[in-house]
Amino acid sequence: MGWPLGGVGFGGDYNPEQWAEEVWAEDVALMQQARVSMVSVGIFSWAEVERRPGAFDFGWFDRVMDMLAEGGVKACLATMTASPPPWLARLHPETLPIKADGTRMWPGARQAYCPSSPIYREYAGRLVEQVASRYHDHPALALWHINNEYGCHTRACYCDVSAKAFQDWLRDKYSTIDELNRAWSTKFWSQRYDAFEEILPPRSAPTFANPTQQLDFARFSSDALKGLLTMERDIIRRHSDIPVTTNHVPLAKTLDLFAWGKEVDVVSYDSYPDPFDKQAHILAGLSYDVIRSSRQGQPWILMEQAPSAVNWRHNNGIKQPGQMRLWSWQAIAHGADAVLYFQWRQSKGGAEKFHSAMVPHAGPDSRVFREVAALGEELQQYSDILGTQPDNDVALVLDWDNWWALELDSHPSNELTQMDALLAHYTPLFEANIGVDVVPPDADLSKYKLVVVPNLYLTKDPENLTRYVHNGGHLLMSFFSGIVNGDDQVYLGGYPAPFREMLGLSIPEFHPIDHDEPVEILGEPATASLWLDEIVLEGAEGDVLTQNAYGQGKAWYLGTRLDANGMRRVMDHITGQAGVRPVLSGLPEGVQAARRGDWLFLLNHNTYEVEIRRPE
């Protein structure tokens, strides 16, 4: 696809149905004032365009689209399926999702549909057909916005309809029930299934449900939602070549973004760093690197961010003056070609009325609108950034299969989480201004100088990593990696069996700890927590951190989680050994440097000014 907009995309979610039509004209005038180039429309319009089943009325929406076209604002047009109207639940209560404990999720909020419901799919598909056929050649149309934040609230459904869909998914995967029984290790605890029809989602049970059942259900749930995406996309494709996207909620376990990225033309991300969190920009940076990497570095869309505060945390801080501009530029530095907000005009009522908006309750004469408009103006000058991409030497390995498996119950420790593991390894790289791609473990790694593998408990294809090192790569792997295969079955023969040779060591037993433990790392003291492997050297050197020459390359193993300084020391050492260079060195603490093509971005995340000499 070509980029649909003339410059850096700028705008937000526009929900005009909330306002009388006389407000719309003021909206367009203010959009022009703020240099808005694109707005997302129709996201929550289902109940207004189809007030009764099959009774479609797009008249008011035609007027919105025409008005945008006349005003020179492009439409990122939603398929309107994000939240079914109450009549669907009344006609078909079996479309409502059900939790593992049997609790039904009722209408009155949003996203109250079972992802596997054929009835929801039928009604949603009919609506998409209407929208796509009606607007596919509308002059305002720039981008198709499929649904909205899939899996944000309804991540999985455990109802009987979902059980049937899960059985079908398992039949596709395993072909025979014997093969499923083997993969799921059902000979233990007398769990053997005699037929796919006996299998249920992992509903509330007396104790730990079968781990592979849980793992497959997580895979199925991501796929069930993905099936909704492709169903809508395929309908659109029959009418239109305009690019499609769908916007993802902040980095979460629910959806395998690497699989989802393949199904759209451009990836979109909703970013809500917490202003009360002093490290929020690091998590944001990681998230942006993930979303960009989910389409191999192509530019992506920051589809939603808050102009100031959100309203859905327990306690919601505002963005300080300048902070919204800083965080917007950070997204661009990490590869975004568009910056949009939720939402254009702040709601007067409803569940998001205290979520900040580009036009606040106080109107345009306000700090928030002024900062928004100033950013819109500023971004006009930087169209040359569009399409450029970061070129990074370091890959951080992330796998949703591992995420789901790592956080299963009945493990040596339940304190080990994927997000903590990612952040512990990403933060020292970020702080050293080293650009990072986030890749699945089966990615082509040959371009990278260093591959970082945090706690890759489930490893489907260990050879891809060992081959990379053998061919000359540098790799850091942390504890509790290479333990199970894709069926969550242990690789026998001493942990971590598939990596013992590459790492030159073995681990006799898992060794979670219940306290912090002082250790020495690279000659200096540090603090170990969570876990502290007893390492048996089989060729490697070192103790808590080991290194091993393997083929043309080198593999490090870190048998614990260190405090921030310790992790930083380890990463400094290994990036140095691997010949990885920062974007810029010698910067004051809190200043981020990033590159896209020829562009160098310098971002001061401190609350005070700093002075920086122009790099040579």
List active site positions.
Answer: 149, 304
**DSSP-derived 3-state class of residue 438:** strand
Quick one: 35 or 110, whose CB is closer to a second copy?
A: 110
The two three-digit tokens of residue 30, written as one number: 């203010």
Asked if 427 touches a second copy (CB under 8 A), the answer is no
List the interface residues with a second copy, window 66-125 (CB under 8 A).
Answer: 80, 82-87, 89-90, 97, 101-112
Binds a second copy (CB under 8 A): choice among 354, 447, 525, 606: 354
Distance CA 203, CA 157 (A): 10
CA distance 99 to 106: 11
Residue 205 found at the interface with a second copy (CB under 8 A):
yes
From the list 21, 39, 23, 43, the residue with the least C-alpha distance to 31 is: 39
In the region spanning residues 486 to 545, those forming contacts with a second copy, defined by CB under 8 A, are: 487-490, 492-495, 506, 508-514
User: Is 17 an interacting residue with respect to a second copy (CB under 8 A)?
Assistant: yes
Judge whether 97 and 103 are in contact, CB under 8 Å: no
Helix (H) or strand (E) holding 569: helix 564-578
Report how far apart, in Å, the C-alpha atoms of 391 and of each of 76, 85, 362, 408 are. Answer: 29, 45, 43, 35
Nearer to a second copy (CB atom), residue 110 or residue 233: 110
Binding-site member from 230, 279, 298, 366 for a second copy (CB under 8 A): 366
Q: Quick one: which of 207, 523, 598, 608 contacts a second copy (CB under 8 A)?
A: 207
Query: Rounded CA gap, 108 and 119, in Å?
Result: 19
Query: Under the criterion CB under 8 A, does residue 238 sit at the interface with a second copy?
Result: no
Among 33, 133, 185, 298, binds a second copy (CB under 8 A): 185
Burial zone of 235 (CB within 10 Å; 0-12 exposed, 13-18 middle, 19+ buried): buried
Q: How far, in Å, CA of 401 to CA of 185, rounded?
A: 18
382 binds a second copy (CB under 8 A): no
Helix axes 177-184, 160-174, angle to 10 degrees: 100
Residue with Cβ nearer a second copy (489 or 577) = 489
Q: Could you give the CA distance from residue 413 to residue 534 in angstroms, rounded to a whole number?
A: 16
Query: Least CB distance from residue 321 to a second copy, whole Å?
Result: 11
Looking at 4-12, 139-147, 363-371, 589-597, which segment touches a second copy (CB under 8 A)? 363-371
Is 600 one of the binding residues for a second copy (CB under 8 A)?
Answer: no
Kindly report whether the peptide bond that precedes residue 496 is cis, defined as omega within 30 degrees of 0: yes
Choice from 95, 210, 268, 455 touching a second copy (CB under 8 A): 210
Binding-site string for a second copy from residue 401 to residue 420, where x marks contact by CB under 8 A and - marks none = --------xxxxxxx-----
In three-state secondary structure terms, 508 is coil
Residues 317-336 that bind a second copy (CB under 8 A): 317-318
State in angstroms the smallest separation of the CB of 2 from a second copy: 32
Residues 277-306 that bind a second copy (CB under 8 A): none
Query: Could you say which of 200, 280, 564, 591 contacts a second copy (CB under 8 A)?
Result: 200
Do residues 186 and 210 make contact, with C-beta atoms less than 8 angstroms apart?
yes
Site for a second copy, residues 37 to 56, rule: CB under 8 A: 44-48, 51-52
Residue from 133, 279, 298, 316 in contact with a second copy (CB under 8 A)? 316
Q: Is 585 in the site for a second copy (CB under 8 A)?
A: no
With a CB cutoff of 8 Å and minimum separation 6, the contacts of 258 are 293, 294, 400, 440
553 binds a second copy (CB under 8 A): no
174 binds a second copy (CB under 8 A): no
With a CB cutoff of 8 Å and minimum separation 6, the contacts of 526 are 518, 519, 520, 562, 563, 565, 566, 569
Q: Determine, following the binding rule CB under 8 A, whether residue 11 of this chain makes contact with a second copy.
A: no
Regarding 428 and contact with a second copy (CB under 8 A), the answer is: no
Whole-Å CA distances, 118 to 149, 228, 244? 20, 10, 23
Choice between 399 and 533, CB closer to a second copy: 533
Is 517 or 572 the residue whose CB approaches a second copy more closely? 517
